[in-house]
Structure formats: structure tokens, C-alpha cells
Amino acid sequence: MRKSVRAFTGEIVPIDVVQSIVLGANRAPSSKNTQPWKLILVQGAALENLRSDYQSAFNGGVKPADFEYVYSPDPLPDAYKKRAVELGKTFLAHKGIDRQNKEKRREHDGENYKFFGAKQVFFLALNKGEYALGTFLDCGIFFQTLIIELHNRGLGCCPQYSVMAYPDLLRKHIPNSEDQMFLLALPFGYPQKGHIANTFVSQREPLETFFRVVE
């Protein structure tokens, strides 16, 4: 079963393996075969420099708020909000973090801005101004295919919207990205088995709440 992985062994996935995974993801369908996605792998010194700037921004109190696109309806519909709150509560409880402990919660949130310690991070992007709602669907389908390709090879990953909060830092460290809109990050690697962050299993709604048959 696929689930998000938020702790990695630190072993680098060789570039030929990465390329084969990316080519597999590139078989994702898209409307009229438009393939609007762009994917950037950041690793090595470039990733460490980016991570360091993210750390300085987050720890220095720069509010993570500069998102270039809105992910969710505002306000969040009640049913969605309930699930989001439940996720937060259960994940913190799983990690043994008291919800009242602000320092520990900030540390927990801060893991995002370290890319969970991953040595390799994919960034999904599209060309600025060249999209409609469906383009985001195409990119999402590509992204999930990428996630499954990683999973099928024993690798783990965690999609991240949170880190889209500092687009200036992404543009600083990713050359020739002025004309791109960054959509999501995907830290990935070999899962650290048994790590508390990786033993958490998120809940799902029962089948009848989202699926019906008409005949």
C-alpha cells in the first residue's frame, strides 16, 4: 500500500534509476497529449543551499505565506476541514506530540522546510500563464504516476504544497525558472523503515461516502 514517507535512509537514488522512473511517469495521460508538466530534480549542493535558505526563512520567522496559487477552497468545506483536523491530530498523537506544546508542533512543521531530510527532491512546475483548471489535472495525474513509479521500486516520497510558500527561494536556487510556476515538491528516497513518521497510516472515508454505481 502506498503512503507518504517522511524519513529517508540518506542513500542517493542513482540517476539512471531516477531517469527510468521519470520516463515511466511521462507515460501519464494528458488532455490531447499536451504533457504540460515540467519536472526538476534538485540534489547535491543545490539542494543543500536551498534547504539552508528554507531553514533560515522558517527559523527566522519569515511567514510561509507567499503561495503563487491557491490549493483549497476558502473556507474549507466542513467535511474537508474535519478530515484535515483529524489528520493533524492523529499524526501528532502518533508522534507523541502534545497539541498544546507549541515548540514541538513548530519543530514538527519545520520538518517540511527541511524536505524531511531527503537527499533528492523533485519539483513539479508548469509554464506561467499557460494553464487552465484542466492543466492542473494533467500535472496532478503525472505527479501521481511519478509517486506510483517511485513506490513500485521500493522508494518513498511525500508530496508537499507547504514549501511552495517561498517561491523566491526556489527561483534563486533553480536556474532559468523565472517563467515557471512551481506547483509541488516531492522529497523522495529509500524509506527509513520503522521511523515513527513512516509508521503512520492516514484514515480514509468508507466507500459509500464517495462512490456510487448508476445502472
Ligand X SMILES: Cc1cc2nc3c(=O)[nH]c(=O)nc-3n(C[C@H](O)[C@H](O)[C@H](O)COP(=O)(O)O)c2cc1C
The site for ligand X (CB under 6 A) is made up of 3-4, 87, 112, 158-162, 184, 202
Is 34 or 199 the residue whose CB approaches ligand X more closely?
Answer: 199
DSSP string computed for 97-112: --TT-HHHHHHHHHTG
Nearer to ligand X, 3 or 94 (CB): 3
CB of 102 to ligand X, least distance (A): 18
CB-CB contact of 40 with 125 (8 Å): yes
Give me the least distance between CB of 144 and ligand X, in Å please.
8
Look up residue 152 and give its three cell numbers.
513500485
β-strand partners of 156: 189
Task: Write phi, then psi, for 182 (nearest 5 degrees).
Answer: -80, 135
CB of 191 to ligand X, least distance (A): 12
The total of other beta-carbon atoms located within 10 Å of residue 122's CB is 25
- Residue 152 near residue 184, CB atoms below 8 Å: no
Q: Which is nearer to ligand X, 2 or 128 (CB)?
A: 2
The CB-of-160 to ligand X minimum distance in angstroms stands at: 4
Is the CB of 19 or the CB of 107 nearer to ligand X?
Answer: 107
Nearest CB to ligand X, comparing residues 19 and 82? 82
Q: In whole angstroms, what is the distance from residue 75 CA to residue 97 CA?
A: 27
What is the C-alpha separation between 172 and 42, in angstroms, rounded? 13
Question: In angstroms, what is the minimal distance from the CB of 91 to ligand X?
Answer: 8
Q: Which amino acid is residue 36, in one-letter code?
A: P
Residue nearest to ligand X (CB): 162
C-alpha span between 118 and 47 (Å, rounded): 9
